Amino acid sequence: MRVITTIEEMQNTISHAKQDGQSIGYVPTMGFLHEGHLTLMEKAREENDIVVISIFVNPLQFGPTEDLSSYPRDFERDKELAEKKMVDYIFYPSVEEMYPHPSSITIKVNERTDVLCGKSRPGHFDGVATVLTKLFHIVQPERAYFGTKDAQQVAVVEGLVNDFHFPIEIIPVETVREMDGLAKSSRNVNLLPNEREQAPILYQSLLRAKEMILEGERNPQTVITFITEMIAENTDGKIDYIEAYSYPMLEEMTKLNGKFIIAMAVKFSKARLIDNIILEINEK
């Protein structure tokens, strides 16, 4: 495994690989890797000749109230984990390498961002789209891998790739979960013991909602109310949002039909947890 820190070296390395007819699988990360990231790497390893991950804490996607400097970093640990997953290259650029001067062109995401987590983070997905545009050009993968735990990000990335005709297949990978169903996250370590016991209720409420829908419930508000009450009655968490939208367009629905997402964010004392399910019901 090789660590590459410059754009020029990364592009030259990929160019040689493509000349040899090798396919490139890519996993973009901000580091501090967890099992969700490792699952993406495993999937990329299965489907490609070469696996590239990037570790770059992108300043453009942090809002004015979010502390970029406090974002967790541990490159040596990340490097060991990536090597165990047989990653070929880590692209590990500095901020100065990625943004040597103020951008003359900006990317603004117009759709799929004013709901769910994007509603409280204006400009966040503009930063995500900008850095991914740069990274996709640098790494030039055939396939890029993203976890569906952050389904809004997947939807935005699919829109970016489709609108700008990137020759990249976006591969969504199922959320990795603990034995009790809690979505794995680096934030889970911040849960108090009693909160950790309560946290699986989030996914359980989504599974119960899924049962309701499969049994015929089509009113999104009825489903949202059920989930809200289940979480309120069984946890100390404060609900940030529970919402249902078409997917991946993330538009409001009066009836649950077609492909849609039910997503939530719940704040505990020192951790904000997100989870979702994506379903498809095809009725005329």
40 marked among binding-site residues: no
34 marked among binding-site residues: yes
Q: Which of 37, 124, 137, 165 is catalytic?
A: 37
Q: Please report which helix (H) or strand (E) contains residue 108, including its range.
A: none
31 marked among binding-site residues: yes
229 marked among binding-site residues: no
5 marked among binding-site residues: no
Closest alpha carbon to 273 in 205, 214, 213: 205
267 marked among binding-site residues: no
36 marked among binding-site residues: yes
147 marked among binding-site residues: yes
123 marked among binding-site residues: no
37 marked among binding-site residues: yes
54 marked among binding-site residues: no
Contacts 24+ apart (CB under 8 A), 223-230: 223/256, 223/262, 224/262, 227/262, 227/264, 230/201, 230/204, 230/205
Radius of gyration of the chain (CA): 20
DSSP E strands, the chain? 2-4, 24-29, 50-55, 89-91, 143-147, 169-173, 238-246, 258-267, 272-281
Q: Is 137 a catalytic residue?
A: no
Q: Which amino acid is at 109?
A: V
156 marked among binding-site residues: no
Question: For the packed helices 151-163 and 124-139, what is the interaxial angle rounded to 10 degrees?
Answer: 60
Torsion angle, alpha carbons of 200, 204, 205, 208, to 10 = 180
Closest alpha carbon to 208 in 179, 228, 188: 228
Cβ-Cβ contacts under 8 Å for 221 (sequence gap 6 or more) = none
142 in Cβ contact with 168 (< 8 Å): yes
**SS3 breakdown of the chain: % helix, strand, coil, rounded to 5?**
45, 20, 35
Question: For the chain, what's the residue count?
Answer: 284
150 marked among binding-site residues: yes
Known binding residues for (R)-pantoate: 61, 153
Please give the positions annotated as active site: 37
Binding site, annotated residues for ATP: 30-37, 147-150, 176, 184-187
Output the known binding site for beta-alanine.
61
Q: Detail the residues annotated as belonging to a binding site.
A: 30-37, 61, 147-150, 153, 176, 184-187
